[in-house]
Amino acid sequence: MIEVQNLSKRYGTTVAVDGLSFTIRPGQVTGFLGPNGAGKSTTMRMMLGLDRPTGGRVLIDGEPYRLLPEPLRRVGAMLEASAVHGGRSAYGHLLWLAQTNRIPRARVREVLAMVGLESVAGRRAGGFSLGMTQRLGIAGALLGDPPVLLFDEPVNGLDPEGVVWIRNLLKGLAAEGRVVFVSSHLMSETALTAEHLIVIGRGRLLADTTVRRFVEANSRSYVRVRTPDPERMRDALVRAGVRVERAADGSLEAYGTEAAELGELAAANGLTVHEVSAQRASLEEAFMELTGDTVEYQAGGGRR
């Protein structure tokens, strides 16, 4: 379990993390979401004792990271995948990590196989693609077989096959009873992987909820109707007890009904329709709505 307690971090006048408190439990993937600059990486660095909090603390299974004996066996992390000595081979890099943490040499081959880098184990890590570098970072996190895993934007640079692979890997690690904490700035990707969600903006907690609840609360579904006679269509819908709104483009949005029902209603009233389609506002839209006021830089608006 990871407990973040009233955590803050200030860099000069910048407040990167502002009084964050939440708990991450084992056995499920927890997504850590926020727009660029929200404070995700800073929070993760403080979890690992790489940055000192201005206030508050993080406990990992009841203790601060710096007091954990053999930390690589307790917490695995992939923060900056590029933090690899470019001259070393993938095998050499992992072996060095293993040896400095009293992890048996045989484990290096195991994790190379787990991340699919066996065939390039002898190649210089400096020549790796972004996706391969990510996989090497993940191998490093898994090396000590730790019960707690932190990943900062692990899908960055992966191709679609790699994205599916990491999704399954993270779920599998959580199903084994581990704490799996994964940052992302993509809501839709996180919804496919995580069960729990922590959303932050400008260093503050915006949501601590299950993905299911977030999806239910935020995916607006409705039926869009385009018709040359929106007034009569609207009257017919209202008479049938359907809540209806006029969209900016002139179409109607009908809530709490189905497309088929709406088509029949139109036919029964002798109305022409050009479109009847089921719509669902995307999770990405819901996420942008939640974090909109906290975005550091916005197109056209500059810094807010």
Which residues of the chain form contacts with ligand ATP (CB under 6 A)?
Answer: 11, 14, 16, 34, 36-42, 185
Least Å from the CB of residue 47 to ligand ATP: 12
What is the CA 118 to chain-centroid distance, rounded?
Answer: 28
Least Å from the CB of residue 188 to ligand ATP: 16
**For ligand ATP, which is the closer residue by CB, 31 or 34?**
34
**For ligand ATP, which is the closer residue by CB, 41 or 227?**
41
**For ligand ATP, which is the closer residue by CB, 122 or 301?**
301
Least Å from the CB of residue 115 to ligand ATP: 23
**For ligand ATP, which is the closer residue by CB, 31 or 147?**
31
Q: What does the angle CA 134 – CA 25 – CA 211 come to, to the nearest 5 degrees? A: 75
**For ligand ATP, which is the closer residue by CB, 28 or 42?**
42
Least Å from the CB of residue 41 to ligand ATP: 3
Least Å from the CB of residue 190 to ligand ATP: 13
